Amino acid sequence: MTRTKASTPPDRFTWHGGQLETARRLHPAAPVPWLDLSTGIAPWPYPVGTFADRDWQRLPEPEALLGLEEVAADYFRVDKPDQVVAVPGSDMALRLLAKFITATRVAIVGHSYSGYRKAWPHAEVMSFERALKADLLICANPNNPDGAWIEERHFQRGRNQRLVDEAFADADPRLSLLPSRNGAVVLRSFGKFFGLAGLRLGFVIADRPLARVLRDQLGDWPISGPAIALAMRAYADRDWHEAQRQRLLGASARLKALLNEHGLTDGGGTAQFRLAEASDSAGLFDHLCCHGILVRPFAERPLALRFGLPGSERDWSRLTAALDQWSISR
């Protein structure tokens, strides 16, 4: 059977993962429920549990927010909690940081998270070596979507300002610049590793002057009471952290093998997603959508698709069956 090549996926899919409503609208006959593999969010969320009534009914006390930042600092191995600022999502932090980090020439290392260009529209995409000469170097480490990782010693070579997004560093703390940091501003995400992206919680780790400015801009209640309570439990649960890391690493290796078995070229990845390349990636994207499976295409990498981790054996079976049909039809 000869397959006609599909057109390029709509732009909305290439900007962010998680565009399920758009996918449903374009593929109304696809089986439900949809399997969303378009993000790098862990498919096994931290148990939400129950909340005290006060978490919902009262404004969060300043001491509660400070308590969250102290627990997060311990998790990040940062010994100065006043340098850890809780924010309503790391994407929001990018928009705020763009107001306070003065830079004429802004460099984004490689093709990476699209939100950097939203915050710094004049930024240029370039290699790490060239970015060391810019006023501000922005780097996802490990990178999204190919998982490329830059060792800490290389960041020390530059004298410029550095913003390092460690959204996918939780699965292997050795990947983090923390605790040393060496003057870099570091972003951390709560939702991806803990599987609770809807909570909208992240952290900025920065020198005290910038940390104070951010707190002033965020106001008195930047994080909800339930988010504070849940995140404090999650960050303190070390046994769960280790179990989650093992789940993620095992599933990532399994996904890499599955994609390779179906003729896709491995393009890298992390414990939370794999990047794969196909000669007709647009056709594969459309084929998966027709089977109710959403993955992530990229405008700047037209042959690449990013696959998140299936969270159950049923999900693995759906993905395997769809890839089997794709292989047969080629």
Q: Are 232 and 247 within one domain?
A: no
| 107 found inside a domain | yes
Q: Are residues 213 and 102 in the same domain?
A: yes
List Cβ neighbours of 262 (8 Å cut-off, separation of 6 or more). Answer: 323, 324, 326, 327
Domain boundary among 189, 220, 236: 236
d(CA 268, CA 131): 22
- Domain with residue 151: its CATH number is 3.40.640.10
Specify the length of the chain in residues: 330
pLDDT of the chain, 330 residues: tens digit per residue: 344 445 566 666 766 677 899 999 999 999 999 999 999 999 999 999 999 999 999 999 999 999 999 999 999 999 999 999 999 999 999 999 999 998 999 999 999 998 999 999 999 999 999 999 999 999 999 999 999 999 999 998 888 999 999 999 999 999 999 999 989 999 999 999 999 999 999 999 999 999 999 999 999 999 999 999 999 999 999 999 999 999 999 999 999 999 999 999 999 999 999 999 999 999 999 999 999 999 999 988 999 999 999 999 999 999 999 999 999 987
Q: Is there a single domain that holds both residue 120 and residue 268?
A: no
Question: What CATH number corresponds to the domain at position 261?
Answer: 3.90.1150.10
The answer to whether the beta carbons of residues 276 and 282 sit under 8 Å apart is no
Q: Is residue 6 part of a domain?
A: no
- Whether 27 is covered by a domain: the verdict is yes
- CA 59, CA 54: separation in Å to the nearest integer? 8
Reply yes or no: is the peptide bond before residue 297 cis, omega within 30 of 0: no
Do residues 101 and 198 both lie within one domain?
yes
* Residue 203: its H or E element: strand 202-205
Q: What pTM does this model have?
A: 0.94
Domain count, the chain: 2
Q: Tell me, yes or no, whether 309 and 246 share the same domain.
A: yes
CA–CA distance, 89 with 124 (Å, rounded to integer): 24
CA distance 36 to 310: 9
59 contacts 221 by C-beta, under 8 angstroms: yes
Asked if residue 248 and residue 217 are part of one domain, the reply reads no
pLDDT for res 329: 87
Quick one: 17 and 78 in the same domain? no
DSSP class of residue 165 equals E
Identify whether residues 66 and 185 lie together within a single domain. Answer: yes
Q: How far apart are CA 273 and CA 264, in angstroms?
A: 14
Is the residue at 3 inside a domain? Answer: no
* Domain boundary pick from 236, 253, 268: 236
Backbone angles phi, psi at 179, to 5 degrees: -90, -10
Last residue of a domain, one of 187, 220, 236: 236
Taking CA atoms, 262 is separated from 274, 292, 326, in Å, by 14, 19, 8
Q: Are 219 and 142 in the same domain?
A: yes
Segment 36-60, tens digit of pLDDT: 999 999 999 999 999 999 999 999 9
Alpha-carbon distance of 265 to 209, in angstroms, equals 46
Structural domain contains residue 266? yes
Report if residue 47 sits inside a domain.
no
Task: Report the amino acid identity of residue 229.
Answer: A
Q: Are 244 and 226 found together in one domain?
A: no
Asked if residue 45 is part of any domain, the answer here is no
Same domain, 276 and 222: no
Range of the domain at 260: 11-40+240-329
195 & 257 share domain = no
In a domain, 46, yes or no: no
